[in-house]
Chain A
Amino acid sequence: GDSVTQMEGPVTLSEEAFLTINCTYTATGYPSLFWYVQYPGEGLQLLLKATKADDKGSNKGFEATYRKETTSFHLEKGSVQVSDSAVYFCALSENYPFNDYKLSFGAGTTVTVRA
């Protein structure tokens, strides 16, 4: 079945440091890939997504590229801020050709940015 494996945390960084969170996936079709963020006490928010190979999703300075050859969707940000402290989830949805309706999530990576 579908699965997502992401880098274990917690990750602690200083402000303005470079952040990368690794994510790899297993899927039988052509999934869409997502990064969600969960701030303390809040629900999940979509951070970015990519729906086909070689697409790059980007938002709020974060980027991730859909790499089919390595089945990866690593999240990167060049200069983090304290406000980026959150739990980050990599997820996939297998839309084609199976019309799978669910999101399959990784276990999450807790990121703490110190001033």
Chain B
Amino acid sequence: ETGVTQSPTHLIKTRGQQVTLRCSSQSGHNTVSWYQQALGQGPQFIFQYYREEENGRGNFPPRFSGLQFPNYSSELNVNALELDDSALYLCASSLGQTLDHNTEAFFGQGTRLTVV
């Protein structure tokens, strides 16, 4: 049991709309990372938040944005949705920024976004 929860589990949006996905990190974790997993592919890093600041970003356009709140929960916002944004969006929480022998990233079950 990871303790990372994401909502909603599924949603369908129309091209051009905006969407907000939510993630509650595991208790005590101060770092949240977001990943996009297209069908049949491995997850791709979107960005990471550490203590409410963006702390690293992958190759995603600015219409992908996020927030981290004082309780370390996080939101992923995507504007001007495109068909290719259809994917499973995964949130991972950890204690600290780097993943070494003492630190593990715990993943939520994801939000399945379909853009039509």
Contact = CB atoms under 8 A, between A and B. Distances in A.
Interface of A: 4, 32, 34, 36, 41-46, 49, 51, 89, 91, 93, 95, 99-108
Nearest to A108: B42
Contacts of B50: 101
Contacts of A44: 43, 90, 92, 107
15 contacts: A32-B99, A42-B109, A43-B2, A43-B4, A43-B107, A46-B105, A51-B101, A95-B100, A99-B97, A100-B98, A102-B33, A102-B48, A102-B58, A105-B44, A108-B42
Best-surrounded residue of B42, B43, B109 (most CB of chain A within 10 A)? B42
A33 to B, nearest CB: 10
Given A43-B90, A44-B107, A99-B98, 17 more contacts: A41-B109, A42-B109, A43-B107, A43-B108, A44-B43, A45-B107, A93-B99, A95-B99, A101-B48, A101-B97, A103-B92, A103-B105, A105-B42, A105-B44, A107-B40, A107-B42, A108-B40
A102 B44 CA distance: 9
A105 B110 CA distance: 16
B42 A89 contact: yes
Interface string B86-110: 0000101000011111001111111
Contacts of B40: 107-108
The 9 closest A-B pairs by CB, nearest first: A105-B42, A102-B45, A43-B107, A44-B107, A43-B109, A93-B99, A51-B101, A101-B56, A95-B98
Contacts of A89: 42-43
A32 B48 contact: no
A44 to B, nearest CB: 4
B27 to A, nearest CB: 17
B17 interface: no
Interface in B20-59: 31, 33, 35, 40-45, 48, 50, 55-56, 58
A89 B42 CA distance: 7
Contacts of B45: 102-104
